[in-house]
Amino acid sequence: MNKNNKITLFAHVLIWLVLISMPYILSYGQEQNINRIIAHFWVPMLFYAIIFYINYFFLIDRFLFQKNTLLFVLINTLMIATFIALKEQIESYFFLNLIKKPTDNNGKAPPLKMIIYAQMLSYLAPLLFSIAIKTTKRWVKAEAERKEAANFKLQSELQHLHYQLQPHFFFNSLNNIYALVDVLPNQAKTSIHSLGKLMRYMLYETNVELVELSKEIDFLEKYIELMKLRVSDNITINYYFPSEKTNIKIAPLLFISLIENAFKHGVSANKKSEITMKMSLDAKTVIFKIENDNFPKKMNDKSGSGIGLQNLEKRLQLLYPNQYTFETILKNNRFSVFLKIETT
């Protein structure tokens, strides 16, 4: 028996002990008639318990939750009628001369119909109580299963996006290295070596929910240095990352798409351009800004599939709901991105 079952059993025992003791508690200091207590309280209490647990363990699941409401009502009606008749028989045979029947102000016993209606209402209480408990437990279980399913779906989507990002990153990096092979073979070799280090990080250190921000920054700096090998002297690249130690952890590979996008659309073969990247921290909040010239790619340019920013937006929605701000602005042929993430 696990801990939850023990707590439930203890709660049931405690409740019934309190109910059984109620006549003594209510009549404390007064003359107590044990036969009256047995006939009018303990016997009905036994029947209440039977109604409650038969419904709790069998009838509600078997009939009510299976949409067989008519049979459920008939069984309970028959059971309540049987217990009412049985109670009257027990009183007649064992307590007839020992207990005092209730009377009205004129000394007459209440009508039989009134007695039956009152007893039926009292027997409905444990029935309704059992329905309420079972319905609540069923709702709690269904809600827990819904949350578990939602969490599983979330993890599956994130895993898919993560695996989608890796080949996208690898594809773009290979395109960059390919451009260097004929022109600058030595730089191409250096780029391949650097790419190996970056891929090692992506494959072995990012398969977790959170990574240290300092490791992510180191990855970004190495990637930027790799990209600088292939650009001409016409391109000015400025980047600023926090150098101080911090205990901030963040979902891996959130910023790489923005940097890839800047190098893809912010670099021209024959025009001067500038890319500026800056990351700052404010307590537990990470702010990343990036700005670059805008050189739209031609329709036949296949250097990248264009999924980077879409991937990022989707991951932010899943990982940091209501905890992020993501804005892009194109003004005066300059493209800027602002990303703020409130970590916990």
pLDDT in tens, 231-279: 777 888 999 999 888 889 998 888 988 988 888 888 877 888 899 999 9
List pLDDT tens digits, range 290-334.
Answer: 999 888 766 555 444 445 677 788 888 888 888 999 999 988 888
Number of C-alpha atoms within 13 angstroms, CB side, residue 240? 10
Are 11 and 129 contained in the same domain? yes
Are 140 and 161 contained in the same domain? no
Tokens of 125: 């209480």
Alpha helices (H) along 205-241:
213-228
Residue after which a domain boundary falls, among 132, 147, 162: 147
| Total domain count, the chain | 2
Q: What is the pLDDT of residue 338?
A: 94
- 252: closest CA among 281, 223, 219? 219
Are 86 and 207 contained in the same domain? no
Are 139 and 283 contained in the same domain? no
Are 101 and 179 contained in the same domain? no
- How many CB atoms lie under 10 A from the CB of residue 64? 19
Q: What is the pLDDT of residue 257?
A: 84
Taking the C-alpha atoms of residue 83 and residue 214, their distance in angstroms, rounded to an integer, is: 73
Tokens of 140: 């709690």
Taking the C-alpha atoms of residue 12 and residue 204, their distance in angstroms, rounded to an integer, is: 52
Are 182 and 67 contained in the same domain? no
Are 246 and 143 contained in the same domain? no
Residues of the chain with pLDDT under 70: 1-6, 10-11, 14-16, 18-40, 93-119, 149-173, 175-176, 178-180, 182-184, 297-308
**3 state SS of 290:** strand
Residue after which a domain boundary falls, among 147, 182, 206: 147
Residue after which a domain boundary falls, among 118, 147, 176: 147
Task: Identify whether the C-beta of residue 170 lies closer than 8 Å to the C-beta of residue 308.
Answer: no
Are 137 and 161 contained in the same domain? no
For residue 30, give its domain range: 3-147
Task: Identify whether the C-beta of residue 248 lies closer than 8 Å to the C-beta of residue 213.
Answer: yes
Are 92 and 217 contained in the same domain? no
Let me know the angle formed at the C-alpha of 308 by 303 and 313, rounded to the nearest 5 degrees. Answer: 160
Q: What is the pLDDT of residue 67?
A: 85
Taking the C-alpha atoms of residue 303 and residue 326, their distance in angstroms, rounded to an integer, is: 24
Are 132 and 166 contained in the same domain? no
Task: Identify whether the C-beta of residue 262 lies closer than 8 Å to the C-beta of residue 220.
Answer: no
